[in-house]
A = this chain, B = another copy of it.
Amino acid sequence: MQCRSENELQILVDEAKHFTSKGKVADYIPALKRANRNSLSIAIYNPDGNYFSAGDISESFTLQSISKVLTLALALMDRGEEYVFERVGQEPTGDPFNSIAKLETSIPSRPLNPMINAGALAVTHMIKGNSVEERFSRLLTLVQKLTANSSIGYNKEVAESEFETADLNRSLCYFLKQHGLIKEDVEELMDLYTKQCSIELNCLDLARIGCVFSFDGKDPISKEQLIPTHIARICKTFMVTCGMYNASGEFAIKVGIPAKSGVSGGIMGAVPGRFGIGVFGPALDDKGNSVAGMKLMRLLSEKYSLSMF
């Protein structure tokens, strides 16, 4: 089945929107706190360049944890699979995304996967470049290509707030540094990491990135291979096993679409061989996923039989 009109999409959004009242907007920094709790928007980007949308898709938001998929792609391009997975594991975990306890009990000490914060920090550390600026610019270029939108930048206010409140991430970094998994200056890494989290776009941009992943890294319009096939597939696999924090297992069962969420309320989905999805709904459930966004993804998957399982 295929979504054929924005009306269809709007009906799903209307149904899912009831769930915004069950969630809470992230409040650890002012910029996120200002988000409209009742917002819910979606864009579906088809490989022919057309898209459907519902809700206000002009609202922009920051990538937050969604960026973990993109830095993973870049680090794999920069360093190769072997290098990356010697330093970061490939296993899902039942622990929260910001947990440090498992780092201590694992032998050798190594983050379980690149989608939890510890793993994502180690991955960002692997991005090549002579300076934070150069490394961030390389990442931003990738995002601009994936979205075919050269105007994409980052939200400076969010980056600065994140930088100021990132003590738990600093704790993870120093732990990894102690174990030789991070070698650079922690403040520089935090600078890069908080900028990556603050890349700002909208639902449609996100849906376009999802679409590139749906076609294994190939831009469906330009036919350019933006991310090598096997790397795009690795990314999608992590999106299935660990993309939705510690609700990933349930999401795989109920939705079955490779997806990655962020605490801004964004969700990027990639329906293999079909289309990309971008969702924005800032009210979060207690695991950090967009509560109405999750519902919307489920309705969508059920209506159009999108589950890969």
Q: Is A210 an interface position by the 8 A CB rule?
A: no
Task: Give CA–CA (A174, B165) in the complex, Å.
Answer: 10
Chain B: which residue is nearest A96 at the CB level?
Answer: B104
Q: Is A92 touching B92 in the complex (CB atoms < 8 A)?
A: yes
Q: Is A11 an interface position by the 8 A CB rule?
A: no
- Kindly provide the distance from the CB of A236 to the nearest chain B CB, expressed in whole angstroms: 5
Q: Of B94, B99, B272, B307, which contacts A104 at CB under 8 A?
A: B99
* CB-CB contacts below 8 Å: A110-144 with B: 112-113
| Interfacial chain B residues near A178, Cβ < 8 Å | 167-168, 171
Q: Is A233 an interface position by the 8 A CB rule?
A: yes
| Interfacial chain B residues near A172, Cβ < 8 Å | 171
Q: Is B94 touching A93 in the complex (CB atoms < 8 A)?
A: yes
Q: Is A91 touching B249 in the complex (CB atoms < 8 A)?
A: yes
Task: Give CA–CA (A170, B182) in the complex, Å.
Answer: 14
- Kindly provide the distance from the CB of A93 to the nearest chain B CB, expressed in whole angstroms: 4
Q: Is B309 touching A91 in the complex (CB atoms < 8 A)?
A: no
Interface string of A230-244 (1 = CB under 8 A from B): 000110111011100
Q: Is A86 an interface position by the 8 A CB rule?
A: no
| Interfacial chain B residues near A168, Cβ < 8 Å | 174-175, 178
**In the complex with contacts A175-B171, A233-B309, A308-B308, A95-B92 CB distance below 8 A:** no
Q: Is B94 touching A249 in the complex (CB atoms < 8 A)?
A: no
Chain B: which residue is nearest A258 at the CB level?
Answer: B309
Q: Is A221 an interface position by the 8 A CB rule?
A: no
* CB-CB contacts below 8 Å: A198-255 with B: 233-234, 236-238, 240-242, 246-250, 252-253
| Interfacial chain B residues near A234, Cβ < 8 Å | 253, 309
**In the complex with contacts A94-B94, A178-B167, A105-B101 CB distance below 8 A:** yes
Q: Is B92 touching A233 in the complex (CB atoms < 8 A)?
A: no
Q: Is A256 an interface position by the 8 A CB rule?
A: yes
Q: Is B105 touching A249 in the complex (CB atoms < 8 A)?
A: no
- Kindly provide the distance from the CB of A306 to the nearest chain B CB, expressed in whole angstroms: 12
Q: Is A89 an interface position by the 8 A CB rule?
A: yes
Q: Is A90 an interface position by the 8 A CB rule?
A: yes
Q: Is A249 touching B242 in the complex (CB atoms < 8 A)?
A: yes
Q: Is A37 an interface position by the 8 A CB rule?
A: no
Chain B: which residue is nearest A93 at the CB level?
Answer: B94
User: Interface of A with B (CB < 8 Å)?
Assistant: 85, 89-95, 99-102, 104-106, 112-113, 167-168, 170-175, 177-178, 186, 233-234, 236-238, 240-242, 246-250, 252-253, 256, 258, 272, 307-309
Q: List 21 A-B contacts (CB under 8 A).
A: A89-B249, A89-B250, A90-B253, A92-B242, A92-B248, A92-B249, A94-B106, A101-B101, A167-B177, A168-B175, A168-B178, A170-B186, A171-B174, A171-B177, A237-B249, A237-B309, A238-B249, A241-B248, A241-B249, A272-B308, A308-B308
